[in-house]
Structure 1
């Protein structure tokens, strides 16, 4: 239940109702509610241009575990209801009116972001077989184009012959153009792209509506046509066999759960060409397929968020069948790779048969491929056993992620380095020579640290003089070093003590020149779910806030990624309150330590991260001044009670199963929609939803807005706006230009409600 501290000020004013116990705690008497409305503590200094929309209320009773309560906005979950569509349009109109006075500011922010972009964007080519593959965004276009060229590495007379033969024909081959698809359908989301081992076919999955119902398309790269007779709907993952014409793929059920592995052979006109290979009938698990890096095996993985069962298929002999590598054990995961006759397995399986678990710690083991079974794992492999190399990082703030590295036998390993103050760097490490070279670094133009930067952009030469160059720790390098912006923007890591004494990592970013201790506005990012790492990589758009004196912070709360899997488990399920308290503690730290003014803290979250922020706002509505919630998961209890919705059953491991009474009460007490506090002053909130979202229903944001306007302080809730895309899906698949437009809109909202427009 709610903490004693939270309830001490309101205990005597609580009115008993027929609501569940946790909802009783926040049901304030009407006299107390009117007191809040009369003496509104809101610092919003503006009035809404028009009255917010008022949706209809339809009686609907929700019951679970002997408790019943009313949900008058349940009707919104019927997205075919014309009243609901009309309501969303009314909210869009209200948002437009609310943001009308920021249009000039939006244009300014958009111009800044566009001017930082290079006119052309491309990735360095990567060799696979005889081809060099790369992507680029043409000048003036929104989306990338996937291309390839024939590698020209002949010598002497052979090189001349190749040059002559390839002239005009092998200049550049366009494999897939996202722009053409977007122009044709108005939306494009390419899920997976896989080139066949013989480089003849491109298999890819395409969503043109935003609902993530991907369609498999196969393009014959020699004839440059899409094979219409091999089109399959509901496909997620892909893997080629080594013959170049046998393709494995996964199919989704009606709840968007990948549950079946199928196989097709190109060139076959048989009606039975799509052959089922594996079916997972348990709705708690999803099926994924992938190829090992050396291409010799295809792994079939039946996964939940905490356990896995793995099967393998010989990619050189796909007709030989499917073999199980490991049987599912609760809480145990396996990830397989293959090299030189051995399977290498990253797992948290117990090291000894008498152990029940491995305390969540992962290790690397291996077994011979011809003796296939997880019980044949050798003991834990040590780093020294692998002749490991250590890649030099320019700073401890850097993250490192692998490139695609298609050529498994190459001695060159490509990685991407990034940090909040280092534009993304692509680096090739040659393991045979123990040397590395900086292949490419993201270009960023018009960077400056002056408060009146809109009129005084520094020249490119001035910017270069400001960039720092890092040494390479003794490793050979063909580049003079990596360039970063740490002379302009300070990035530091702190540890914040949470409610139970746990130290929570907090990354803080701000301009060295423009930050004012105790006076600066700030934006705190949070997520805290699925064991996912909060994205702190380089983002040039942030400069539009940093150069206005803002602080940007990232709270790595429990429930997200940590040093080991216990960081995730201690913030999920029955322990979700920990992640919420972690986030609140980080917000208070930023204020108490003078990073952010006490009335200038805003927050932002996406999808499941909105659960975290929504619950934190209910617990401490006066802590935050503004919030941005994108495709927000807010109606948590009702969603988890509805097993007909996509992903519901799969999310039981993450958020709890409300069919279990103890889980139900835990979910209900923190569910953002069910705990909006009557009469309280809530922050200004921008909610962004998508009508075709198959992961988080568009109604979740709409219901939350309707309820907060109904029960919270009416003055403050007029600064809550809902903007719904009537055509998009869960993921922002807009191009680079539309992304800048959306970010400019969000930043303009923050600058407006925090009254820091300059």
Structure 2
């Protein structure tokens, strides 16, 4: 067996609050150091050698994923103005093709069973053409002008989330001369289609500026519209669904602010709805009165005055800072969002650990407090609004799924209250949802808190302690890991695995309180909750300590590192993806991407000795011990701007030097050195190969022999990728997009 790499020791002392700590792998932060590259390459070679015996299983799992997937497929078209917009995929091609079709009636066009192109379609953007000659491709902005003539789109070919924006004339199919480098995600068009607003980031990868670009002018002439000086805040820009207002959304982890400007006055000044107040978060959507703009109303979701789970208020557009309660605060219901339409609004919420959607009508120009929930009969599921760009509509597009029901797209008829299933994600082969069971299991945390776990397995799996189990967790930023369907997961379930999601504190599954109890000086609850969930799965017979694997990524990777330290004997393996495992050192360094923004989530260890000590007690890199760890696989990318590659590299190096099994093939690091980002590789086939690598490692760690597999053999059928929502139209007023949920993870 090839010998594992041994990282060199280079003295570096950290001194903080009188605490002197040696960090011998600090030198890993120098991305340009040839020794860093050499070490990462050596680790990759060692990982390749250590997992060589899994190659056949990897290929089999890849073929299973591919064989269950309809490779040539279409998303359900979404109406916007005179066009139906959709995305489609073609067999053998990595990326979606974004299209539109002239609308001839109120109903979406019928989708061909073979997933082929719709007659008369216009291709707006083909990701496969854009990606030619590049190992990585990511589409950032995709924003159509209000008159449907221009498409603003942006591309990233490195994985570092720095995008170049271009503009396509959809009548000619040609790109304009305009080109704007180093943009972020969000965009918004002016009402007359002559101006687009976009965002850029600072050196710490914080979106902090909004610029105005006049179509047909050089980017050097773009006007800086707004700059956010507070390093705790990020921003985004968008256009309201009514297309009447442009919005700059600003937010820190605990405070937010919205600034509005009429879309027909693009050179005007953005004015705040209400000046920010520390600890107060709010979000707005605009409802336009059909005849009198002076009677326009804002729907405001906010947590002012101690409304922990948020309340819904209305505010006159002329006096937007005066909020009148519409739906009062309910400790049992977390209000998430209110989306305004011409004749109704849609409320998204959480209750009893599940998501919910309700439709409220607007009666005589007044939003109604009485709504109609859209109900489903499965015990655990996820539901939310889909793409609904049309302001005047009698339908609501809904996305739904569960751990046994593939992702489904519905139209909800507001007048009749009926649901029409437009499409359910096809799963090829012999998939039968009746052969799988989903359930809710509860764990009891150290402090007596009951922690929910969503579980799925084949019907023939019994709670006798013999099943392998994959337990997934996240637990940060109030991000909820709701029950969802996965084609790739079937390769585990059909090998007898139990799959479970631990809804630990720090997430938002049980409301704002659940989040508050898993952040700052309560962060350890996230880790002890996950350990309690692992023990509950074993106690209830769904697995055993020699067959249970833990998996998490980003902030969930921090969770993985922490639980490996807390209970190394509990796990048969730990898979940590782009893991935030050097948390204390990162949060101590304000020069690193996103650090200052993170202080409201983790605390500021620079200023507070208490926070410093608390983080030092749980940060995985700080707490590697001379014990035998379970098999560990860490995966990362050199171009990741959210979690530096150096974090897992340092962690693995310390495990190698300290853990009793550190020199064995149980401790592995896999780094994408060139073409990947925070989410890994970009093409769908590349992503399937990467997932097959992970699932094969999971099977090996759980000691699941290939002979145990009941998975169907790969078939010569045409597979699939879900492309719902891939063709977004219009700009969404997004204050920070993904970084709001995943900033430095």
Q: What TM bracket, shorter-length normalisation?
A: 0.7 to 0.9
1:397 aligns to 2:349 (yes or no)? no
Question: Superposition pairs for residues 100-249 of structure 1, below 5 Å?
Answer: 100-153=52-105, 171-249=120-198
Q: Tell me what 1:417 maps to.
A: 400
Match of 1:310 in 2: 258
- Cα deviation, residue 276, structure 1: 1.6
Q: Given that residues 463 and 540 in structure 2 are in contact (C-alpha distance below 8 angstroms), is that contact kept between their aligned partners in structure 1?
A: no
In structure 1, stretches of 5+ residues that fail to align are: 1-48, 155-167, 351-356, 449-462, 464-484
**How far, CA to CA, are the matches of 1:668 and 1:183 in structure 2?**
46
Task: Call closer, same or farther: CA 1:207–1:499 in 2, change over 3 Å.
Answer: same
Matched, 1:344 2:290: no
1:696 pairs with one of 637, 643, 650? 643
Describe the SS at the equivalent of 2:371: coil
TM-superposed deviation, 1:149:
1.5
Note the C-alpha offset of 1:232: 3.4
Instruction: Provide closer, same or farther for how the CA distance between residues 687 and 123 of structure 1 changes in structure 2, counting only shifts above 3 A.
Output: same
Q: Which residue of 1 aligns with 2:481?
A: 534
Contact 2:311 2:325 survives alignment (8 Å): no
Q: Confirm whether residue 59 of structure 1 aligns to residue 7 of structure 2.
A: no
Alpha-carbon distance, 1:245 to partner: 1.9
Greater Cα offset, 628-637 or 531-540: 531-540
- Aligned residue number for residue 367 of structure 1: 315
Q: Secondary structure at the match of 2:406?
A: strand
Cα distance in 1, alignment partners of residues 299 and 105 from structure 2 = 34
2:491 corresponds to 1:569: no
C-alpha displacement of 1:343: 0.5
| Cross-structure match for 1:24 | none
Q: Say if 1:682 and 1:716, in contact at 8 Å, map to a contact too.
A: no
Residue 446 in 1 paired to residue 392 in 2? no
Q: CA RMSD in A?
A: 1.9
- Structure-1 residue corresponding to 2:249: 301
In 1: Cα distance, 2:100 partner to 2:590 partner: 45
Could you state the TM-score of these two structures normalised by the residue count of structure 2? 0.85
Q: Cα deviations across residues 508-551 of structure 1 (Å, max 9, x unaligned)? A: 11111144521111110010000001153110111111111111
Partner SS state of residue 522, structure 2: helix
Give the counterpart of 1:381 among 292, 307, 327: 327
Q: Per residue, is there more strand in 1 or in 2? A: 2
Q: 1:119 to 1:302 in 2, by over 3 A?
A: closer
State the match for 2:273 in structure 1: 325
Which of the two has greater helix per residue?
1
**Does the aligned pair in 1 maintain the 2:473–2:552 contact within 8 Å?**
yes
Whether the aligned pair in 2 keeps the contact of 1:311 and 1:325 (CA below 8 Å) is yes
Residue number in structure 2 paired with 1:506: 453
* Residue-pair matches, total: 651
Inter-partner Cα distance in structure 1 for 2:232 and 2:127? 34
Offset from partner CA, 1:111-164 (integer Å, 9 cap, x none)? 11111011312101111111111100112111101011112349xxxxxxxxxx
Q: State the shift of 1:93 in Å.
A: 0.6
| Distance of 1:198 and 1:96 partners within structure 2 | 52
1:422-441 matched pairs, under 5 angstroms: 422-441=405-424
SS at match of 1:494: strand
Distance 2:304 2:144 in 1: 34
User: Structure 2: which 5+ runs fail to align?
Assistant: 107-116, 290-295, 329-359, 362-367, 707-745
Q: How many Å separate the matches in 1 of 2:516 and 2:557?
A: 18
| TM-score in terms of structure 1 length | 0.83
With a CA cutoff of 8 Å and minimum separation of 6, indicate the structure with the bigger relative contact order.
2
Q: Which residue of 2 aligns with 1:20?
A: none
Q: Against the structure 1 CA distance between its residues 271 and 699, is the aligned structure 2 distance closer, same or farther, given a 3 Å change threshold?
A: closer
State the Cα distance separating 1:169 from its structure 2 match.
Answer: 13
Does structure 2 conserve the Cα–Cα contact (< 8 Å) formed by 1:515 and 1:549? no
Larger radius of gyration: 1
Which moved further from structure 2: 570-579 or 230-239?
230-239
In the alignment, the residues of structure 2 paired with residue 270 and residue 729 of structure 1 have an alpha-carbon distance, to the nearest angstrom, of 27
Residue matched to 1:97: 49
**Aligned residue for 1:291?**
239
**Contact 1:292 1:336 (C-alpha < 8 Å) held by counterparts:** no
